Amino acid sequence: MDLTNRTAILVIDVQNDFCPGGALAVNNGDLVVPVINRLLPAFEVCVFTQDWHPRDHQSFAANHGDCEPFSTLDMPYGTQLLWPMHCVQDTDGADFHEDLDIDKAQMIVRKGFRPHIDSYSAFFENDRRTSTGLHGYLHERGVDSIVLAGLATDYCVGDSALDAARLGYEVTLIEDACRAIDLEGSLATAIRHMREAGVKFAHSETL
């Protein structure tokens, strides 16, 4: 693919809790780190996201009495999958992976900080209307195309890709720079939705 100075890389949630040993570990989640570090210098615009939940966050099963992690609950904005407690503000689990080259981050978008609403996408919270402000930032910097990397392909990366495509950006997901949680076919569903939205898929070596 062609990288121009109007291309941004979006590095999604490469945090300890999504890596092996973390509270919501993604298989081989840590393997995205060297791939992302290799990609970063090629981009004029580098934005990272950080899942950043208060302890009383309503996406945590533990905050709903007898609900089990990975069960679902109806919320005012739709069905919410309940997660193990993860990425709690100011904990080690919420820190970026220690080998991730965070010095390259020009902007870090924190999301999921409102107790009553989850936020997968880097652009909008799960009500699909509360903005994180990222679209405005990218617009100000003249970005028209986005490369996506990070965790997890089927949740935060996927929803960010779909929103970016909907907002009119050209979107490419770097397959070897992402890993999935893959609950009951969620990866296949996410890939189908991304393809339908016009998201392109590429390998890091082709950049």
Annotated active-site positions, please? 13, 111, 156
Q: With CB cut-offs between 5 and 8 Å by kind, which of ligand VGL, Zn ion, none does residue 155 bind? A: ligand VGL
Positions in the binding site for Zn ion (CB under 5 A): 51, 112
Cα-Cα-Cα-Cα dihedral of 115, 121, 122, 125, to 10°? -40
CA 162 – CA 151 distance, rounded (Å)? 15
Q: Does 23 bind ligand VGL (CB under 6 A)?
A: no
Residue type, 193: H
| DSSP characters over 87-109 | -BTTSGGGSBPTTS-GGG-SEEE
Which of the listed partners (Zn ion, ligand VGL, none) does 163 bind, with a CB threshold of 5 to 8 Å by partner kind? none
Closest approach of ligand VGL to the CB of residue 59, in Å = 6
CB under 5 to 8 A by kind: which of Zn ion, ligand VGL, none does 48 bind? Answer: none
What is the total count of residues that contact ligand VGL (CB under 6 A)? 9
Q: Which of 147, 145, 138 is nearest to 176 (CA)?
A: 147
Q: Does residue 13 belong to the site contacting ligand VGL (CB under 6 A)?
A: yes
Residue 43 zone, left/alpha/beta (φ > 0; ψ -120 to 50; rest): beta
Is residue 187 near ligand VGL by the rule CB under 6 A?
no
* From 27-35, 40-48, 150-158, 197-205, span contacting ligand VGL (CB under 6 A): 150-158
Name which position in 48, 52, 83, 124 contacts ligand VGL (CB under 6 A): 83
Cα separation, 108 vs 121, whole angstroms:
14
Residue 59 structure tokens: 């996406």
Closest distance of CB 58 from Zn ion, Å: 11
151 is a site residue for ligand VGL (CB under 6 A): yes
Q: Specify the residue, 128 or 139, whose C-beta has the smaller distance to ligand VGL.
A: 128
Cα 121 from Cα 125, distance rounded (Å): 6
State yes or no: cis peptide before 165, omega within 30 of 0. Answer: no
Q: How far apart are CA 29 and CA 16, in angstroms?
A: 9
**Stretch of residues binding ligand VGL (CB under 6 A), selected from 63-71, 134-142, 152-160, 187-195:** 152-160
Segment interacting with ligand VGL, rule: CB under 6 A, options 33-41, 129-137, 147-155, 183-191: 147-155
What residue ranges bind ligand VGL (CB under 6 A)? 13, 18, 51, 83, 120, 151-152, 155-156
